[in-house]
Structure 1
Amino acid sequence: MMEPLAFRMRPRTLDEVVGQQHLIGPGKIIWRMVEARMLSSMILYGPPGTGKTSIASAIAGSTKYAFRTLNAATDSKKDLQVVAEEAKMSGTVILLLDEIHRLDKAKQDFLLPHLESGRIVLIGATTENPYIAINPAIRSRAQIFEVKPLTAAEVGLAIDRALKDPQRGLGKLPLVLDDDARTQLITATNGDLRSALNGLELAARSTAPASDGQIYLTLSVIEESVQKRSLVADKDGDGHYDVISAFQKSIRGSDTDAALHYLAQLIAAGDLVSIARRLVVIAYEDIGLANPPAVERAVTAVQAAERIGFPEARIPLANAVIELCLSPKSNSAIDAIDAALARVNQGNSGAVPDHLKDAHYQGAQKLGRGVTYRYPHDYPEDWVAQQYLPDRIKNDQYYQPKQNGTFERAFAKQYRQLLAAQRGQQPPQR
């Protein structure tokens, strides 16, 4: 059985690696490690098909060390023992351990002493954020390098190499790749070189030659052969949370087009639950008191989206996102409650004043509970000055109103008037 094109085109040296020049370019960290033959264990993390396995293979090819590949999820501790025995017999072995975030404790405990001795140089590959998903014991013994998504130019370079290479690639086939088909091959796979190469091979080997003997790879052929890859990673993956983060930060930054872009990614992933939750949070956290009606409309839009579902849910969601982007912003509410929580968590804030304590039980009056409480509705304007905070923190002020929008400017004016009246500086103005 023929190995897939992506496997056959795997780099043999660092010079053949496409992309990742921040790691393997001349003078960069992995390049220097290989040049000095001072390899240390490392963890490579990034999206699928961006070169993690290629870098490991190139390191092995450049150093001439034995190279073995295992999967932390599917291979057993016995498989690790085989690699360890080989390392004892022949010297250093480079072990590419795919899905390293799935490494269980038994395998980890077996590996650790071999990593310490240097007999096994571990190159862990993962799509998950290692600072979150990988055990600290492994993480502390490896350098962590992020593998970046490949650019369109880099994917195009790899495709051209595969088309020309007669030994490992498709160079022996009479292929003609149309320009628009090449563009589709690059863009549809979204930087996943493995998908691009394997899609190219499927198209090449499943298309019959034309009457002139040429195999024409047209746009329609490529579209049928390449599965379009979403920008959004698995809903439990690191990339998914990056998109959610970018979504909120774009709305907070009032960039309507960026916010719609990230909303579209989440819609393409079908993740209405995350969109709904995040949009409500954004409305209250980032717009808040600057524009309460916009907050209410965002909540209504989320409820409508949840009721009608996709694809129509995109319409109320887009309405809400655009309005929130263009709305005045204020985070004064979240700042206020966080300041109050900080005070509570510090402790030592004092007791509830006696006049505010519960007085609805027999004997409360003897204890002085609620005796001097002033019922605001008994006073003009339904307000009367009295102390509500504990004595120890009676001058605390948590809410710091902003002036971003008509509503919060009005709230700010009322807040300051009430605060001044409460402290006996002037009566409130209604």
Structure 2
Amino acid sequence: MKPLADQIRPTELNHIFGQEHIIGEDKLLNRIVASNNVPNMIFYGPSGTGKTTVANIIANSSNKKFYKLNGTSANIDDIKNVVSQIGTLHTLNGILLYIDEIHYLNKRQQQSILSYIENGDITLIGSTTENINFSIFGALLSRCTIIEFKPLTVDHIVNGLKRAVLLEEKRLNMNIKYEDKPLKYIAEVSGGDLRRALNTLGLVISTNITYDSSDLFIDIDKAIECAQSKITNYDRDGDSHYNLLSYFQKSIRGSDPQASIHALARLIKGGDLHIICRRLLVISSEDIGLAYPQAIHIVKACTDSALQLGFPEARIPLAQATLLLASLPKSNAAYKAINHALNDLETMDVGQIPRHLCDTHSNNAIKNENSYLYPHDYPNHYIKQDYMPNSIKDKVYYEYGKNKFEQSLKTYWDKIKKSIND
């Protein structure tokens, strides 16, 4: 028996939930269907957001011969079989080829259809959950209209579930009643995936039907039992992984402990302990840095503890480090300084190291052995002399951050250096 999501798959665009930016009156996909002029397209976005359904609707509305492949199992012979149908009696109006999970096709497989979509023999619709800039061959991408499918909200999914209940009532000839709470629960734990939510609902219905009753009541207990647990949308090699890490760091950088701990919880659900530790260590220097130099020592202790403990206990020192970093004053002065210095090495002639600063055993130093001034021989362990190469002697890489610690350093050195100049 087909899963519920496949049984009730919409056949019209107005039955699609979400995607209001591309579906609706005078929206792009509606205009494409109405015009019967289908361009080559790549649909990208999370699972269960309607990509396959929309492709089927467009295919059914066109007068082209429809072929469907799945990138997870398709090979070059499958593509050749489609190509071989070009110009036959039943493809006189052209071929519409839908390739689901197109990112699984290798470069050679993607290239094999390039000339056919270029001359119009084949119209391609591909769908993917991956970053199209990395997963789709550039020449193929440039010949397609790129359409984003956005994540569904809980309300979108609840509305999809309500539609499914009505359709199942008619199919099963029974009364299905429900509370709002179980439908919302199913929607929330589906991770934005309507297909997953519908299949959970299908399980609720099929496992609670009794032959001596034409009534079924869906309560929260039935929903929890069939949903089991929430599936977090976390792919360690995909966009969601990098988006979540970005969200984590930007929340800490923005000094929002609530968002930071929420982002950490999402990362913990993904289970990649090492990447969390690595990102916390980076943040302690990149975003807090000299505003609170002890941060990296504390974070190192927390991450070492987390790695030794493992999950689930690792969540506690990770939370400690996250909340500390989110609550501390911020400075990216060190980050900016080293980036500026590295950039100069790549883009300009920075000159030679000053001779009086060379190693004491080098020829340059021997020739200038009396020119180096040893700072510890002078008051406050400081004496003015040239340290920068002559060609960049006026460069400023490090600028004191606007925080208490760095400003205290600035005050100290301004005072010392002013006394030398005076």
The TM-score range, normalised by the shorter chain, is: over 0.9
Give the aligned partner of residue 177 of structure 1: 178
CA contact (8 A) 1:164 1:171 kept: no
CA contact (8 A) 1:230 1:268 kept: no
Bigger drift between 226-235 and 135-144 goes to 226-235
- Superposition deviation, residue 218 in structure 1: 2.8
- Superposition deviation, residue 147 in structure 1: 0.8
**What is the rounded CA distance, in whole Å, between the counterparts of 2:70 and 2:365 in structure 1?**
72
Give the aligned partner of residue 410 of structure 1: 408
- Match runs of 1:112-261 below 5 Å: 112-165=114-167, 170-209=171-210, 212-261=213-262
Matching residue's letter, 2:274 = V
Structure 2 stretches lacking a partner, 5+ long: none
Structure 1 pair 33/212, CA: closer, same or farther in 2 (3 Å)? closer
Deviations 1:80-136 (A, max 9, x none): 222223443312332221221121133222210111122322111111110122221
Deviations 1:185-205 (A, max 9, x none): 111102211111111112211
CA contact (8 A) 2:111 2:140 kept: no
- Match runs of 1:2-401 below 5 Å: 2-89=1-88, 90=91, 91-165=93-167, 170-209=171-210, 212-360=213-361, 368-401=367-400
**What is the rounded CA distance, in whole Å, between the counterparts of 1:68 and 1:417 in structure 2?**
78
- Superposition deviation, residue 22 in structure 1: 0.7
- Superposition deviation, residue 343 in structure 1: 1.4
Name the count of aligned residue pairs: 419
Q: Match of 2:112, SS?
A: helix
**What is the rounded CA distance, in whole Å, between the counterparts of 2:365 and 2:6 in structure 1?**
84
Q: Match of 2:395, SS?
A: coil
**What is the rounded CA distance, in whole Å, between the counterparts of 1:140 and 1:295 in structure 2?**
45
Percent identity among equivalent residues?
A: 38
CA contact (8 A) 2:357 2:365 kept: no
**What is the rounded CA distance, in whole Å, between the counterparts of 2:159 and 2:81 in structure 1?**
37
Structure 1 pair 340/264, CA: closer, same or farther in 2 (3 Å)? same
- Superposition deviation, residue 219 in structure 1: 2.1
CA contact (8 A) 1:68 1:95 kept: yes
Bigger drift between 217-226 and 334-343 goes to 217-226
**What is the rounded CA distance, in whole Å, between the counterparts of 1:65 and 1:364 in structure 2?**
79
CA contact (8 A) 2:252 2:325 kept: yes
- Superposition deviation, residue 228 in structure 1: 3.4
CA contact (8 A) 2:174 2:214 kept: no
Matching residue's letter, 2:131 = N
- Superposition deviation, residue 224 in structure 1: 2.5
**What is the rounded CA distance, in whole Å, between the counterparts of 2:414 and 2:131 in structure 1?**
46
Q: Match of 1:233, SS?
A: coil
**What is the rounded CA distance, in whole Å, between the counterparts of 1:392 and 1:17 in structure 2?**
64
Matching residue's letter, 1:4 = P
CA contact (8 A) 1:417 1:428 kept: no
CA contact (8 A) 1:195 1:226 kept: no
Q: Match of 1:24, SS?
A: coil
Structure 1 pair 210/319, CA: closer, same or farther in 2 (3 Å)? farther
**What is the rounded CA distance, in whole Å, between the counterparts of 1:426 and 1:125 in structure 2?**
69
**What is the rounded CA distance, in whole Å, between the counterparts of 2:421 and 2:243 in structure 1?**
47
Structure 1 stretches lacking a partner, 5+ long: none
- Superposition deviation, residue 283 in structure 1: 1.2
Q: Match of 1:148, SS?
A: coil
**What is the rounded CA distance, in whole Å, between the counterparts of 1:74 and 1:191 in structure 2?**
26
Matching residue's letter, 1:386 = Q
CA contact (8 A) 1:358 1:369 kept: no
- Superposition deviation, residue 210 in structure 1: 7.8
Q: Match of 2:69, SS?
A: strand
Structure 1 pair 220/365, CA: closer, same or farther in 2 (3 Å)? closer
Q: Match of 1:236, SS?
A: coil
Bigger drift between 24-33 and 278-287 goes to 24-33
Structure 1 pair 34/417, CA: closer, same or farther in 2 (3 Å)? farther
- Superposition deviation, residue 222 in structure 1: 2.1
- Superposition deviation, residue 211 in structure 1: 5.6
Structure 1 pair 170/258, CA: closer, same or farther in 2 (3 Å)? farther
CA contact (8 A) 2:173 2:214 kept: no
CA contact (8 A) 2:18 2:156 kept: yes
**What is the rounded CA distance, in whole Å, between the counterparts of 1:96 and 1:6 in structure 2?**
19
**What is the rounded CA distance, in whole Å, between the counterparts of 2:365 and 2:158 in structure 1?**
84
**What is the rounded CA distance, in whole Å, between the counterparts of 1:11 and 1:202 in structure 2?**
20
